[in-house]
Amino acid sequence: MKKRIQLKFLKWLMIILGLMGSVYVIQSSLLFTNAPIKAAKKIELQPGEIQLSKTAEPVAGMVNQWDITLRIEGRNQFPPPPTDIVLIIDTSGSMKDNDRMIKAKTAAEKFVNMVLRKDYDNRIALITYSTEVTNYTFYESGWSSQFVNADHKGLLIDKIKELEPVVNGGTFTQASIKSATEVMQQATAKKRNVVLISDGVPTYSYPPKTPYNQLIGMEKFEYKQNGYDYYESVKSIPKEKFNYDYVNPKTNVKAYGDGVRYRYAALAPDYEQMPSGSKNRLMANHAHSAIAQATITKNEKIPSGEFLVTDLYTIGVDLDSTSQDDEVVTGNKTMKEMASSEDKSFSATADNLEDILSGIAGEIVGAIKSAFVVDPMGTGFEMVGGIANTQGKIEVKDVLGKPTINWNVGTLKTPVSSEPEEDVMFAQMTYRVNAQNDILKPNVIDVEGLAETNGKTTIVYKDYNDKMKQEEFVVPKVKPIIVSLQKKLQNENGEDISNQTELFDFDYGNDEYTQNDKFSLYSNEVKKIVHPWKSDQEYIVEEILKANQDYETTIDINTQITKGIKSSFKFTANANEYAHQQIIVTNKKVSENKKITLNIRQTVINPNSELVIPSKGYYQSMIDGTQQSLNLISESTTKDTASEVSKTLFAKYETTISKQQKQLKIKDLIPEYYKFFGYIATTTDQELSVKHLSNNTEALKKNNEASLDYQINHEYWVTMFITPELGKDSSGELETSPRPYSWDYKVNQFRK
Q: Which amino acid is at 66?
A: W
Report the number of secondary-structure helices (H) and strands (E) in the chain: 8, 44
Structural contact between residues 237 and 149, judged by C-beta atoms closer than 8 angstroms = no
pLDDT at 591: 66
Q: Which amino acid is at 590?
A: V
What Cα–Cα distance (Å) separates residue 545 from each residue in 551, 552, 594? Answer: 8, 11, 19
Q: Which amino acid is at 307?
A: F
282 pLDDT higher than 60: yes
Q: Which residues, in sequence order, are CB contacts of 535 under 8 Å at separation 6+?
A: 61, 62, 63, 570, 571, 572, 573, 575, 578
Q: Which of 236-245, 268-277, 472-481, 583-592 bottoms out in mean pLDDT, i.e. has the lowest?
A: 583-592
What would the mean pLDDT of 210-224 be, rounded to a whole number? 94
Which parts of 76-165 are beta strand (E)?
83-90, 123-129, 133-135, 138-140, 143-145
Cα 139 to the chain's mean position, in Å? 55
pLDDT classification of 226: cutoffs 50, 70, 90: confident
Spatial distance between the Cα atoms of 144 and 152, rounded to a whole number of angstroms: 10
Report the relative pairing of strands 496-497 and 539-544 from DSSP bridges.
unpaired
CATH among 3.90.79.10, 3.40.50.300, 3.40.50.80, 3.40.50.410 for 83-202+291-363: 3.40.50.410
What would the mean pLDDT of 562-586 be, rounded to a whole number? 91
Spatial distance between the Cα atoms of 379 and 364, rounded to a whole number of angstroms: 40
What are the backbone dihedrals phi and psi of residue 241, each rounded to the nearest 5 degrees, phi first? -105, 15
Q: Which of 508-522, 681-695, 708-722, 724-738 bottoms out in mean pLDDT, i.e. has the lowest?
A: 724-738
pLDDT classification of 749: cutoffs 50, 70, 90: low
Spatial distance between the Cα atoms of 738 and 731, rounded to a whole number of angstroms: 15
Whether the bond into 269 is cis, omega within 30 of 0: yes
DSSP-derived secondary structure letter, 290: H
Spatial distance between the Cα atoms of 710 and 659, rounded to a whole number of angstroms: 9
Helix (H) or strand (E) holding 647: none
Spatial distance between the Cα atoms of 416 and 389, rounded to a whole number of angstroms: 15
pLDDT at 445: 97
What Cα–Cα distance (Å) separates residue 137 from each residue in 144, 159, 169, 179, 559? Answer: 7, 10, 22, 13, 84
Tell me the percentage of the chain whose pLDDT exceeds 70.
Answer: 91
Alpha helices in 533-671 (DSSP H): none
First-to-last CA distance in the chain? 66
Which parts of 479-613 are beta strand (E)?
483-490, 496-497, 504-507, 518-521, 526-529, 533-534, 539-544, 551-557, 560-563, 566-569, 581-589, 594-604
The secondary structure of 716-750, three-state, reads EEEEEEEEECCCECCCCCECCCCCCCCCCCCCCCC
Instruction: Record the pTM.
Output: 0.66
Q: Which residues, in sequence order, are CB contacts of 271 under 8 Å at separation 6+?
A: 207, 213, 214, 282, 284
Q: Do the two domains 483-589 and 594-724 of this chain adopt the same fold? A: yes
pLDDT in tens, 358-384: 999 999 999 998 999 999 999 999 999
Structural contact between residues 87 and 147, judged by C-beta atoms closer than 8 angstroms = no
Tell me the pLDDT of the chain averaged across its residues: 89
Spatial distance between the Cα atoms of 24 and 375, rounded to a whole number of angstroms: 12
Does residue 400 or residue 696 have the better pLDDT?
696
Question: Helix axis angle, 173-184 relative to 286-299, nearest 10°?
Answer: 10
- What homologous superfamily is domain 11-77+369-478 in, according to CATH? Mu homology domain, subdomain B (2.60.40.1170)
Q: Which of 304-318, 394-408, 729-743 bottoms out in mean pLDDT, i.e. has the lowest?
A: 729-743
pLDDT at 346: 92
Alpha helices in 129-188 (DSSP H): 153-162, 173-184
Of 467, 461, 382, nearest to 427 (Cα)?
A: 461
Is domain 483-589 classified as CATH 2.60.40?
yes
Using alpha carbons only, give the angle 29, 33, 36 rounded to the nearest 5 degrees: 135
pLDDT classification of 493: cutoffs 50, 70, 90: confident
Spatial distance between the Cα atoms of 107 and 141, rounded to a whole number of angstroms: 28
pLDDT classification of 686: cutoffs 50, 70, 90: very high
Question: Helix axis angle, 326-338 relative to 286-299, nearest 10°?
Answer: 10
Q: Which of 63-72, 521-530, 743-752 bottoms out in mean pLDDT, i.e. has the lowest?
A: 743-752
DSSP-derived secondary structure letter, 318: T
Q: Which of 118-127, 299-308, 497-506, 686-695 bottoms out in mean pLDDT, i.e. has the lowest?
A: 497-506
Spatial distance between the Cα atoms of 17 and 343, rounded to a whole number of angstroms: 15
Is domain 594-724 classified as CATH 1.10.150?
no
33 pLDDT higher than 90: no
Torsion-angle region of 576 (φ positive above 0: left; ψ -120 to 50: alpha; else: beta): alpha
What Cα–Cα distance (Å) separates residue 627 from each residue in 172, 623, 644? Answer: 88, 8, 37
What are the backbone dihedrals phi and psi of residue 353, each rounded to the nearest 5 degrees, phi first? -60, -40
Spatial distance between the Cα atoms of 123 and 138, rounded to a whole number of angstroms: 12
Domain ranges within the chain, ordered by starting residue: 11-77+369-478, 83-202+291-363, 215-285, 483-589, 594-724
83 pLDDT higher than 70: yes
Of 157, 137, 202, nearest to 176 (Cα)?
A: 202
Question: Helix axis angle, 100-115 relative to 353-365, nearest 10°?
Answer: 20
